[in-house]
Amino acid sequence: MSQNTMNSTSAESIRALGKVAVLMGGASAEREVSLMSGSGVLKALQSQGVDAHAFDPAERDMGDLKREGFSCCFIALHGRFGEDGTVQGALELLGIPYTGSGVMASSISMDKVMTKRIWISEGIPTPKYLLLRRGAMDRHTVIEVPDTLGLPVIVKPAREGSSIGVTKVAGYSGMADAVALASQMDADILCEECIEGDEVTCPVLGSGDDARALPVIRIVAPEGNYDYQNKYFTDDTRYLVPCGLPEGEEQAIQALVLDAYRVLGCRGWGRVDVMIDAKTRKPTLLEINTSPGMTGHSLVPMSAKAAGISYEALCLQLLQDAALDGGVRP
């Protein structure tokens, strides 16, 4: 095939995508990050010749997507009302294909407790946990959490991302404040065993048997604190890819992450966060992100680059994989 034919075929496939909406912003606590992700994706798609436009569901009626002739959506939303199955459900009703996981997988993956329950039932390792419910617990219950999980303990909202509302509690006296902070974000508060060791993350591209794990990234944050600030707004956090793990560990983590991704029914893409116990070197899965960040500090583009996939090519590949649950238009 000649270069001219290849370029023509590529141009035809891009034209076939039609009018594309990049969903960004939204109403979640991660709105600021989503706007950064969406802006990057929009610029990348436009640079590839895609007829892409910004669309903020917090400021527009979703029905406008149908009325204005959008043929598919790149979801660059994070957190609630974007990553939790709600937007996915609206797009299913509108019959507009979208990037990433479908309604059920998105909803389950957004809920860290439900994710853990499924992983545990499938034999996939995840830290021990206790679930507290706002308004259904007393001070005594809160204080006793470290008796079960040990110290330090991680306290977080069950359905938020980007480390929003997360506290690493070093002593009993810190439990009440940590729970109070998390309960501002969610009625369900996840208290989790703290695994000390290497923090890594592993992206996945594709669906079902065709899904593949990208290179593992090892995260080295200041004082081990990979919080919201260190994720997005500083250059002090180091990201190591190649990850430099002992021989065989990276492959084992990739295989485990693929299992975790598939049992939740995820498709398109995702990223799984993992802790490696410093003593046993066993990987333990923390959570999965079904609409990962695409900012200048984000990890999926970083891992993809290490695998030879540019940011622009990644965005285009994800868009070309846009689909509806079951592939059926209403």
Residue 15: count other Cβ atoms within 10 Å of its Cβ.
11
Compute φ and ψ for 161, nearest 5 degrees: -130, -170
Tokens of 89: 């459900």
Distance CA 31, CA 115 (A): 23
Cβ distance 193 to 149 under 8 Å?
yes
What span, in angstroms and rounded, lies between the C-alpha atoms of 317 and 21?
15
* Residue 252 main-chain phi, psi, to 5 deg: -65, -40
- Residue 22 phi/psi, 5-degree rounding, is -100, 105
Point out the residues that are catalytic: 30, 162, 232, 271, 273, 287, 289, 293
| Cβ 265 vs Cβ 109: under 8 Å | no
Helices 311-320, 299-306: inter-axial angle, 10-degree rounding:
100
Q: Find out whether 159 and 186 touch, Cβ atoms under 8 Å.
A: yes
* CB-count exposure of residue 326 (10 Å: 0-12, 13-18, 19+): exposed
| DSSP per residue, 187-213 | SEEEEEEPPPEEEEEEEEESSGGG-EE
CB-based contacts of 47, cutoff 8 Å, min separation 6: 312
The encoded tokens of residue 312 equal: 């622009």
How far apart are the C-alpha atoms of 36 and 33, rounded to whole Å? 5
Cβ–Cβ < 8 Å for 85, 110 = yes
